[in-house]
Structure 1
Amino acid sequence: MFGKKKSITGLTYIAQGTRVTGESHFAGDALVGGEIHGTIQSEGTVTIEPSGLISGDIECQEIKVSGLLQGKLRCERLVITGTGTVEGDVSSNHMEIFEGGQFIGVRVKDKHIDRLEQQAVVDDKKLQKIMELDDKKIKKAQ
């Protein structure tokens, strides 16, 4: 009665067959059965159903993946169910993978994914130089 007023936010539902592209912000929880491509920010929990797909950069409190998540994720808690797949860079303090769930990528506990991206750029440049040297050696041998 005299306590803090709770913020009332609804559930956002992206239905199967729906495709959203661009920047999305959810004040509450989101349930994804369709596709979202782009940047997503949520103050609540994002749930990807088995038919759902999110591709892009995601920042949320918690995410439960039963479908497919591709991209860069920053969250407090990640749960991958038995039908879920996460591909990409993950920054989370808590991570749980159920039997059958798949995680393909890199996980850091702190929120410094940018360091991973910088390292990947450096590694790509080194690889490119090595390939150029190999091409020069092949041309000389011919």
Structure 2
Amino acid sequence: MGPTYVAPNSEFQGTMHVEGDLLVDGIIHGTVEVRGDVVISETGLVEGSELRARNLVVHGVLKAKVLLDGTLTLSHTARLEGDVSASAFSVETGAFYMGYIETGDVKALPGTRTRPELMGAAEEYYPKEGY
């Protein structure tokens, strides 16, 4: 069985559940839940509250919270707006991303829900005198 396909000039609205893989050349408005991998092509757009999948490759536009078991890959044509939780993250030069990314095995890391504190002000390490 091949991937579920949303063709160019096609538009879907609502909650989409896919048991295998999903290839998006068209437009999806809504929540997307995929047991396999998702590829959003350069002509594809997904906009909704959440996208869940194993792995995700973005060449087009994605505006959603992203929850992945595997890897998020952004190509140089990608535009992603939303927070991401994934095991790994790969981005090509030229991709646009706005949001918060959490990578790695979240269960294995203590305190991953808080952002790390910076060590201190730059003046502590580089005094103004002598520079």
Alpha-carbon separation, structure 2, partners of 1:101 and 1:68: 10
2:126 — aligned with what? none
Alpha-carbon separation, structure 1, partners of 2:71 and 2:17: 18
Residue 89 of structure 2 is aligned to residue 83 of structure 1: no
What is the CA distance between 1:10 and its match in structure 2?
2.4
Alpha-carbon separation, structure 2, partners of 1:86 and 1:39: 15
Whose strand proportion is higher, 1 or 2? 1
1:73-101 CA-partner distances (Å, limit 9, x unpaired): 00121000010111011111100001111
* Counterpart AA for 2:44: G
1:21-71 CA-partner distances (Å, limit 9, x unpaired): 101011111110111111111111100000100111100000000000101
2:117 — aligned with what? none
1:29-108 matches, cutoff 5 A: 29-56=21-48, 57-75=50-68, 76-108=70-102
Q: Structure 2: which 5+ residue stretches go unaligned?
A: 108-112, 115-131
Alpha-carbon separation, structure 2, partners of 1:85 and 1:92: 17
User: TM-score scaled to structure 1, two decimals?
Assistant: 0.70
2:11 — aligned with what? 19
Q: Structure 1: which 5+ residue stretches go unaligned?
A: 1-8, 117-142
Alpha-carbon separation, structure 1, partners of 2:37 and 2:62: 14
User: TM-score scaled to structure 2, two decimals?
Assistant: 0.75
What is the CA distance between 1:103 and its match in structure 2?
1.2
Task: Tell me the SS of whatever aligns to 1:50.
Answer: coil
Percent identity over paired residues: 34
* Counterpart AA for 1:38: G
Q: Please provide the CA RMSD for this pair.
A: 1.6
Task: Tell me the SS of whatever aligns to 1:16.
Answer: coil
